[in-house]
Amino acid sequence: MGDTRGIGGGTGHAVVVGGSVAGLLAAVALARHAERVTIVERDRYPERPEPRKGVPQSRHTHILLESGLVAMLRYLPGLDDELLAAGAQRIFSPTDYLQNMRGRWFSRGPAASSTLCLTRPLLEHGIRERVLAHPRVEVLQATEAVGLTGSAERVTGVLVRRRRGDPHPDQEPTRLAADLVVDASGRSSRVPDWLESLGVARPAEARVESGIGYATRVYRDGSQGELTDARLVYVVGETTGTVLAPVEPAGTYMVTFALPRGVPVPTDPAAFEALADNDPHPLVRRWLSRAEALSPVRGYLRTENVRRAYDDVVPDGLLVTGDALCALNPVFGQGMSTAALDAVALDESLASRRTHRATQAALLRASAQAWAISTGADRARPGVTGNAARRSPAGRVLGWYLARVQERCGVNLEVQLTFRRVLALLDPPTALFRPVIVRSVLFQRPAPLGAEPPLRRAAVEAGGEGAERV
């Protein structure tokens, strides 16, 4: 198999298919190695932070994990300060969280990590403005990639066509030559089909489909300060979930309800707010009764986990990243952070001159922990489907252990901080098997059911003593 010499050696032209978060971050990482990077984007970018047609999930709750922010700052220093100045909220976990897992409230104390709460359009706009200002990055807007050029041994470019709505739409596709093509076109990537047309086998796919759907609505806080000391509410039931997250501008919240397979996602406001009755405590229902709705109810249903093993089939000149490689259930809030970790893996692989297949394998490894977390939770849901849905005996034991971990997050701060750092992709899952954690999981009594939420944080210094600030 060939290598990445055409890009990794500091010369050549890279083309990125898809200009959302994964594509933008791939482009700025590639700009460290390529003479020129071209992003091919189907949409026209808005001039301000606004939702766009090509990102249907942009109107739903998003978070950026600390691991993802650290990775982004590697290429976009100062991005966090810009986002915070624009209204994004930095939330320290567990200091600022009210979290309930199956009837048990987590305790609050020193921070294990931080999270940015903000709208997807704000984050994407902030990234886009910086990436497109790079002297070696250009973008073809309102332009659709419709195929690959080359052979089964090597991809040499992309077939592109300006879309309808452009002042001068193309009737026939034209070839955009490239030394390296990176597919960042998301869940709906057509690269498997394009590879087949070149005589390359489709990549093997692993699928885990929980059937979850979710609905979101935006509100202005009317609670008169009930949540001033608890900035994010996260409730997970046996089959449902609730998130109440602050976004820009100040005083604005996104409320998202997740629903199990077979339960229709509501679009009616009254039916939407009635979903709060599924929570084990009336906190969110009470908050909604005082809040002012600022948007209609919007649903989203594409929550399957899909992972493609391109490292076995990828020809020279092609790499795949982001959701096109590993799409996760969005309810776990890992997608944007995983895209940033993919960019780091791409950068480091090009710097070390790895082969294409080794680079593709590194990209897959960058999302391995997030995949394990998302699919591990979804495999435990009733009615889960997919060719990778079955839990192995070892997986069932691990699920039993992790359930006990969560039951002790309300009574053992060390267990909770470790659990949160693993979820934030800062520490490996093996951290949950340190002796001090195992002793608590096996022998300590769990947190009580049905207690009141800890509306006031524990006595820690303002901002979360112990937080890793970035």
CATH number at residue 150: 3.50.50.60
- CATH number of the domain that residue 271 is part of: 3.30.9.10
438: domain range?
A: 95-111+212-301+392-470
| Domain identity same for 42 and 130 | yes
| Domain identity same for 130 and 44 | yes
Q: With contact defined as beta carbons under 8 Å apart, do 147 and 173 qualify?
A: yes
Choose among 167, 140, 134, 119: nearest CA to 19.
Answer: 140
Q: What is the pLDDT of residue 54?
A: 83
| Domain identity same for 275 and 240 | yes
Choose among 395, 371, 420: nearest CA to 232.
Answer: 420
| Domain identity same for 309 and 438 | no
Q: Which residues of the chain are modeled with pLDDT < 70?
A: 1-11, 164-170, 458-470
Question: Do the domain assignments include residue 385?
Answer: no
Q: Which structure tokens are listed for 222? A: 């009317």
Q: What is the pLDDT of residue 238?
A: 82
Q: Which of 374, 400, 421 is the last residue of a domain?
A: 374
Residue 465: how many other CB atoms lie within 10 Å: 13
Q: Which of 332, 347, 374 is the last residue of a domain?
A: 374
Question: Do the domain assignments include residue 120?
Answer: no
| Domain identity same for 244 and 145 | no
| Domain identity same for 319 and 362 | yes
H or E element in which residue 300 lies = strand 298-300
| Domain identity same for 36 and 131 | yes
| Domain identity same for 468 and 400 | yes
Question: Do the domain assignments include residue 387?
Answer: no
Q: With contact defined as beta carbons under 8 Å apart, do 320 and 251 qualify?
A: no
| Domain identity same for 203 and 103 | no
Question: Do the domain assignments include residue 58?
Answer: no
CA distance 296 to 298: 6
**pTM for the predicted model, two decimal places:** 0.93
Question: Which residues contact residue 116 at a Cβ distance below 8 angstroms, ignoring those fewer than 6 apart?
Answer: 63, 64, 69, 80, 83, 84, 88, 89, 90, 91, 123
Q: What is the pLDDT of residue 467?
A: 33
Q: What is the pLDDT of residue 384?
A: 95
Angle of CA points 87, 29, 73, to nearest 5°: 35
Question: Do the domain assignments include residue 44?
Answer: yes
Q: What is the pLDDT of residue 7?
A: 62
Q: With contact defined as beta carbons under 8 Å apart, do 201 and 313 qualify?
A: yes
| Domain identity same for 148 and 184 | yes
Q: What is the pLDDT of residue 164?
A: 67
Q: What is the pLDDT of residue 138?
A: 98
Counting the structural domains of the chain, the total is 2
Choose among 51, 40, 41: nearest CA to 125.
Answer: 51
Q: What is the pLDDT of residue 1?
A: 40
| Domain identity same for 231 and 360 | no
| Domain identity same for 440 and 427 | yes
Question: Do the domain assignments include residue 239?
Answer: yes
CA distance 369 to 373: 6
Q: Which of 374, 403, 421 is the last residue of a domain?
A: 374
Question: Do the domain assignments include residue 74?
Answer: no
Question: Do the domain assignments include residue 276?
Answer: yes
Q: What is the pLDDT of residue 469?
A: 28
